[in-house]
Amino acid sequence: MYYVRGQSVQIDGNADLTLQYAIIERSRSSFRVFQTVRRQSSDMLIRALDIVISLLALIFFAPVLVMVGLMVKAQDGGSVFYGQTRVGLGGRDFTCFKFRSMLTDSEVRLKNLLATDAAARAEWIRDHKLKNDPRITGFGRFIRKTSLDEFPQLWNVLKGDMSLVGPRPIVQDEICKYGRTFVRYASVKPGITGLWQVSGRNNVSYHRRVAMDRLFCRRRNVALYLYILIATVPSILAQRGSY
Protein backbone atom coordinates (compact mmCIF):
# COMPACT_ATOMS: atom_id res chain seq x y z
CA MET A 1 0.00 0.00 0.00
CA TYR A 2 1.39 3.41 -1.03
CA TYR A 3 0.10 6.77 0.11
CA VAL A 4 0.22 9.56 -2.43
CA ARG A 5 -0.77 12.97 -0.99
CA GLY A 6 -3.42 11.49 1.22
CA GLN A 7 -4.66 8.92 -1.32
CA SER A 8 -4.01 5.21 -0.83
CA VAL A 9 -2.80 3.24 -3.85
CA GLN A 10 -2.79 -0.56 -3.71
CA ILE A 11 0.07 -2.10 -5.72
CA ASP A 12 0.84 -5.75 -6.21
CA GLY A 13 4.32 -6.49 -4.89
CA ASN A 14 5.08 -8.54 -8.02
CA ALA A 15 4.06 -5.80 -10.43
CA ASP A 16 6.59 -4.36 -12.77
CA LEU A 17 8.35 -1.33 -11.25
CA THR A 18 7.54 0.74 -14.33
CA LEU A 19 3.85 -0.02 -13.87
CA GLN A 20 4.06 0.86 -10.19
CA TYR A 21 5.63 4.19 -11.01
CA ALA A 22 2.98 4.88 -13.65
CA ILE A 23 0.16 4.18 -11.18
CA ILE A 24 1.68 6.49 -8.57
CA GLU A 25 2.24 9.29 -11.08
CA ARG A 26 -1.30 8.95 -12.43
CA SER A 27 -2.62 9.22 -8.88
CA ARG A 28 -0.53 12.32 -8.28
CA SER A 29 -1.71 13.85 -11.55
CA SER A 30 -5.36 13.18 -10.67
CA PHE A 31 -4.87 14.81 -7.29
CA ARG A 32 -3.31 17.91 -8.88
CA VAL A 33 -6.18 18.18 -11.34
CA PHE A 34 -8.67 17.89 -8.48
CA GLN A 35 -6.87 20.62 -6.54
CA THR A 36 -6.79 22.91 -9.60
CA VAL A 37 -10.50 22.43 -10.32
CA ARG A 38 -11.38 23.07 -6.68
CA ARG A 39 -9.27 26.24 -6.61
CA GLN A 40 -10.78 27.52 -9.85
CA SER A 41 -14.31 26.90 -8.57
CA SER A 42 -13.47 28.74 -5.35
CA ASP A 43 -11.98 31.66 -7.29
CA MET A 44 -15.09 31.95 -9.48
CA LEU A 45 -17.40 31.99 -6.46
CA ILE A 46 -15.26 34.57 -4.67
CA ARG A 47 -15.25 36.77 -7.77
CA ALA A 48 -19.04 36.55 -7.97
CA LEU A 49 -19.33 37.50 -4.30
CA ASP A 50 -16.92 40.40 -4.83
CA ILE A 51 -19.08 41.86 -7.59
CA VAL A 52 -22.46 41.38 -5.88
CA ILE A 53 -21.38 42.64 -2.44
CA SER A 54 -19.46 45.62 -3.89
CA LEU A 55 -22.44 46.74 -5.97
CA LEU A 56 -24.82 46.41 -3.02
CA ALA A 57 -22.42 48.31 -0.74
CA LEU A 58 -22.02 51.17 -3.24
CA ILE A 59 -25.80 51.48 -3.63
CA PHE A 60 -26.55 51.24 0.09
CA PHE A 61 -23.82 53.67 1.21
CA ALA A 62 -24.16 56.08 -1.75
CA PRO A 63 -25.58 58.98 0.36
CA VAL A 64 -22.78 58.61 2.91
CA LEU A 65 -20.10 58.45 0.22
CA VAL A 66 -21.42 61.57 -1.49
CA MET A 67 -21.35 63.39 1.84
CA VAL A 68 -17.79 62.24 2.54
CA GLY A 69 -16.69 63.40 -0.90
CA LEU A 70 -18.22 66.85 -0.34
CA MET A 71 -16.51 67.15 3.05
CA VAL A 72 -13.12 66.18 1.61
CA LYS A 73 -13.53 68.79 -1.13
CA ALA A 74 -14.73 71.48 1.29
CA GLN A 75 -11.78 71.19 3.69
CA ASP A 76 -9.15 72.65 1.31
CA GLY A 77 -10.54 72.59 -2.22
CA GLY A 78 -8.26 69.74 -3.26
CA SER A 79 -9.17 66.55 -5.07
CA VAL A 80 -11.72 64.20 -3.52
CA PHE A 81 -9.91 60.98 -4.39
CA TYR A 82 -6.32 59.89 -4.02
CA GLY A 83 -4.84 57.27 -6.31
CA GLN A 84 -1.60 55.48 -5.47
CA THR A 85 0.27 52.81 -7.41
CA ARG A 86 0.12 49.49 -5.57
CA VAL A 87 1.27 45.95 -6.38
CA GLY A 88 -1.42 43.44 -7.32
CA LEU A 89 -1.96 39.98 -8.74
CA GLY A 90 1.10 38.66 -10.56
CA GLY A 91 3.19 41.56 -9.28
CA ARG A 92 1.46 43.96 -11.68
CA ASP A 93 0.95 47.61 -10.70
CA PHE A 94 -2.51 49.15 -10.42
CA THR A 95 -3.95 52.41 -9.12
CA CYS A 96 -5.56 51.96 -5.71
CA PHE A 97 -8.19 54.59 -4.91
CA LYS A 98 -9.12 56.16 -1.57
CA PHE A 99 -10.87 59.26 -0.33
CA ARG A 100 -8.07 61.78 0.18
CA SER A 101 -7.21 62.07 3.86
CA MET A 102 -3.96 64.05 3.54
CA LEU A 103 -2.96 67.59 2.70
CA THR A 104 -2.48 68.37 -0.98
CA ASP A 105 1.31 68.75 -0.56
CA SER A 106 1.66 65.55 1.47
CA GLU A 107 4.56 64.11 -0.57
CA VAL A 108 6.70 67.22 -0.06
CA ARG A 109 5.87 67.28 3.65
CA LEU A 110 6.83 63.61 4.02
CA LYS A 111 10.15 64.12 2.24
CA ASN A 112 11.02 67.07 4.48
CA LEU A 113 9.94 65.25 7.64
CA LEU A 114 12.01 62.14 6.90
CA ALA A 115 15.02 64.31 6.09
CA THR A 116 14.87 66.20 9.41
CA ASP A 117 13.31 63.78 11.95
CA ALA A 118 15.37 60.67 12.72
CA ALA A 119 12.61 59.05 14.83
CA ALA A 120 10.02 59.51 12.09
CA ARG A 121 12.47 58.18 9.51
CA ALA A 122 13.11 55.04 11.59
CA GLU A 123 9.35 54.50 12.06
CA TRP A 124 8.77 54.90 8.31
CA ILE A 125 11.53 52.43 7.43
CA ARG A 126 10.14 49.90 9.94
CA ASP A 127 6.39 50.19 9.29
CA HIS A 128 6.08 52.30 6.11
CA LYS A 129 3.58 54.31 8.15
CA LEU A 130 3.59 57.10 10.75
CA LYS A 131 1.37 56.90 13.83
CA ASN A 132 1.30 60.68 14.28
CA ASP A 133 1.38 61.63 10.61
CA PRO A 134 1.38 65.46 10.27
CA ARG A 135 0.15 65.18 6.67
CA ILE A 136 -3.32 63.94 7.66
CA THR A 137 -6.15 66.48 7.83
CA GLY A 138 -8.65 66.69 10.68
CA PHE A 139 -11.44 65.15 8.61
CA GLY A 140 -8.90 62.71 7.19
CA ARG A 141 -8.29 61.30 10.67
CA PHE A 142 -12.02 60.70 11.06
CA ILE A 143 -12.46 58.82 7.78
CA ARG A 144 -9.35 56.76 8.52
CA LYS A 145 -10.60 55.85 11.99
CA THR A 146 -13.95 54.76 10.54
CA SER A 147 -12.38 53.20 7.41
CA LEU A 148 -14.59 55.40 5.21
CA ASP A 149 -11.49 56.35 3.22
CA GLU A 150 -11.32 52.78 1.89
CA PHE A 151 -14.73 52.77 0.18
CA PRO A 152 -13.49 53.95 -3.26
CA GLN A 153 -11.58 50.67 -3.43
CA LEU A 154 -14.90 49.03 -4.18
CA TRP A 155 -14.32 50.41 -7.68
CA ASN A 156 -10.98 48.55 -7.72
CA VAL A 157 -12.88 45.39 -6.78
CA LEU A 158 -15.40 45.82 -9.59
CA LYS A 159 -12.54 46.45 -12.06
CA GLY A 160 -10.89 43.22 -10.94
CA ASP A 161 -7.73 44.81 -9.51
CA MET A 162 -8.66 43.81 -5.98
CA SER A 163 -10.88 41.48 -3.98
CA LEU A 164 -12.94 42.36 -0.93
CA VAL A 165 -10.67 40.03 1.05
CA GLY A 166 -6.97 39.52 0.52
CA PRO A 167 -3.50 40.64 1.60
CA ARG A 168 -3.01 44.35 2.18
CA PRO A 169 -2.07 46.08 -1.11
CA ILE A 170 1.57 47.15 -0.87
CA VAL A 171 3.76 49.64 -2.73
CA GLN A 172 6.92 48.76 -4.64
CA ASP A 173 9.17 49.82 -1.73
CA GLU A 174 7.56 47.17 0.49
CA ILE A 175 8.32 44.20 -1.77
CA CYS A 176 11.73 43.75 -0.14
CA LYS A 177 10.04 43.26 3.25
CA TYR A 178 8.25 40.19 1.88
CA GLY A 179 11.43 38.56 0.56
CA ARG A 180 10.82 35.14 -0.96
CA THR A 181 7.21 35.18 0.25
CA PHE A 182 6.39 37.94 -2.26
CA VAL A 183 5.73 35.20 -4.84
CA ARG A 184 2.95 33.89 -2.61
CA TYR A 185 1.63 37.42 -2.00
CA ALA A 186 1.41 38.02 -5.75
CA SER A 187 -0.51 34.77 -6.30
CA VAL A 188 -3.81 36.37 -5.22
CA LYS A 189 -5.51 39.76 -5.52
CA PRO A 190 -4.93 42.21 -2.66
CA GLY A 191 -8.01 42.97 -0.57
CA ILE A 192 -9.82 45.86 1.08
CA THR A 193 -9.88 43.79 4.26
CA GLY A 194 -7.94 40.72 5.38
CA LEU A 195 -6.43 38.86 8.30
CA TRP A 196 -4.27 41.86 9.18
CA GLN A 197 -7.23 44.24 9.30
CA VAL A 198 -9.31 42.00 11.61
CA SER A 199 -6.37 41.13 13.87
CA GLY A 200 -5.43 44.56 15.17
CA ARG A 201 -4.47 46.43 12.01
CA ASN A 202 -1.68 48.93 12.80
CA ASN A 203 -1.20 47.42 16.26
CA VAL A 204 0.28 44.37 14.49
CA SER A 205 4.00 44.37 13.69
CA TYR A 206 5.07 44.37 10.05
CA HIS A 207 6.63 40.94 10.46
CA ARG A 208 3.34 39.47 11.69
CA ARG A 209 1.48 41.30 8.92
CA VAL A 210 3.62 39.55 6.31
CA ALA A 211 3.05 36.20 8.05
CA MET A 212 -0.73 36.78 7.98
CA ASP A 213 -0.66 37.62 4.28
CA ARG A 214 1.33 34.45 3.62
CA LEU A 215 -1.12 32.36 5.66
CA PHE A 216 -4.14 33.79 3.84
CA CYS A 217 -2.61 33.20 0.40
CA ARG A 218 -1.88 29.58 1.30
CA ARG A 219 -5.30 28.80 2.79
CA ARG A 220 -7.54 31.07 0.72
CA ASN A 221 -11.02 29.61 0.26
CA VAL A 222 -14.66 30.70 0.40
CA ALA A 223 -15.07 29.85 4.09
CA LEU A 224 -12.05 31.98 5.11
CA TYR A 225 -13.23 34.77 2.78
CA LEU A 226 -16.65 34.87 4.45
CA TYR A 227 -15.18 34.64 7.97
CA ILE A 228 -12.94 37.68 7.36
CA LEU A 229 -15.80 39.67 5.81
CA ILE A 230 -17.99 39.04 8.86
CA ALA A 231 -15.14 39.76 11.30
CA THR A 232 -14.45 43.08 9.55
CA VAL A 233 -17.67 44.66 10.86
CA PRO A 234 -16.86 44.49 14.62
CA SER A 235 -13.23 45.34 13.83
CA ILE A 236 -14.28 48.61 12.13
CA LEU A 237 -16.72 49.46 14.92
CA ALA A 238 -14.03 48.87 17.57
CA GLN A 239 -11.51 50.92 15.52
CA ARG A 240 -8.64 48.73 16.71
CA GLY A 241 -5.33 49.95 15.33
CA SER A 242 -6.94 52.54 13.06
CA TYR A 243 -4.93 55.68 12.43
214 falls within a domain:
yes
Task: Evaluate whether residue 126 is within a structural domain.
Answer: no
Is the domain of 82 the same as that of 39?
no
Number of domain units in the chain: 2
Residue 38 sits in the same domain as residue 86:
no
Q: Does residue 231 fall inside a structural domain?
A: yes
Q: What is the pLDDT of residue 123?
A: 85
Closest to 212 measured CA to CA, from 165, 160, 164, 148:
165
- The pLDDT of residue 34: 44
Q: Is the pLDDT of residue 224 over 90?
A: yes
Q: Are residues 97 and 153 in the same domain?
A: yes
In a domain, 123, yes or no: no
Claim to verify: residue 9 and residue 82 sit in the same structural domain: no
71 and 7 share one domain: no
6 occurs within a structural domain: yes
Assess whether pLDDT exceeds 50 at residue 31. Answer: no
Question: Which residues lie across from 93 on neighbouring strands?
Answer: 87
DSSP letter, residue 170: B
pLDDT at 225 over 90: yes
Across the range 22-47, mean pLDDT stands at 66
Task: Answer yes or no: do 197 and 78 share one domain.
Answer: yes
Asked whether the predicted pLDDT for residue 82 surpasses 60, the reply is: yes
Position 114 confidence tier, pLDDT thresholds 50, 70, 90: confident
Query: Residue 93: enclosing H or E segment and its boundaries?
Result: strand 93-99
pLDDT score, position 235: 85
β pairing state of 163-165 and 191-193: parallel
| 36 plus 66 within the same structural domain | no
Residues 33 and 141 in one domain: no
Is residue 149 located within the same domain as residue 69? yes
DSSP string, 101-136: -B-TTHHHHHHHHHHH-HHHHHHHHHHSS-TT-TTB
Distance between CA atoms of residues 202 and 205, nearest Å: 7
Q: Are 25 and 95 in the same domain? A: no
Q: Report yes or no on 119 lying in a domain.
A: no
What are the tens digits of pLDDT across the range 9-27?
454 555 555 665 655 556 5
The answer to the question of residue 213 being in a domain is: yes
Q: How confident is residue 124, by pLDDT bands cut at 50, 70 and 90?
A: confident
Task: Decide: 99 and 81 in contact? Cβ < 8 Å.
Answer: yes
Check whether residue 146 and residue 228 sit in a common domain: yes
- 34 and 151 assigned to the same domain: no
The whole domain housing 94 covers 61-101+136-238
d(CA 15, CA 2): 13
Of the listed ranges 4-13, 58-67, 75-84, 86-95, the one predicted with least confidence: 4-13
Average pLDDT, the chain: 84
Residue 94 pLDDT exceeds 50: yes
